[in-house]
Amino acid sequence: FLYAAMIILVIKWWDVTHTMHFHSATHDGYGVSIGTFVMAIEAFLLTMYVPSCHALRHLAGGMLDRWTTGISRVRGVLFEKISVLNRSHGFWFWTSLTFVFLGDLWVLAVAEGRLSDMVLFVV
């Protein structure tokens, strides 16, 4: 599931870049809207959730006996950094899950015309 989550994460950030491109009668160019913020928060929270997972921590250095020399030292440092994130894995899970749900509701409401995605600025 880790690799699938990484692919989804790339797609989420790709979606954020697409929410910044406007082509309409009133706006033409790159800018930021409410939807951009919603999608960016969602992508950020998923970015914090995916690297904090146990599988990535194990890939980084969980199977090593010691982290004292060469590449194992780099993997050991990476393992320790991921371990710091891993302590908050549950927090990142629940916040990202909540915002993915809210983001999907936002996209659905805008797509159905129930809400208007207010453009804050265009360059």
Domain coordinates in residue numbering, the chain: 2-122
Q: Whole-model pTM?
A: 0.80
Convert the pLDDT of each residue in 69-123 to its tens digit: 666 777 777 878 888 888 888 999 999 999 999 999 999 999 999 998 888 888 8
C-alpha distances in Å from residue 58, one per residue of 7, 29, 34, 40, 102: 19, 43, 37, 28, 31
Task: Determine the Cα–Cα distance for residues 94 and 49; give it in Å rounded to an integer.
Answer: 9
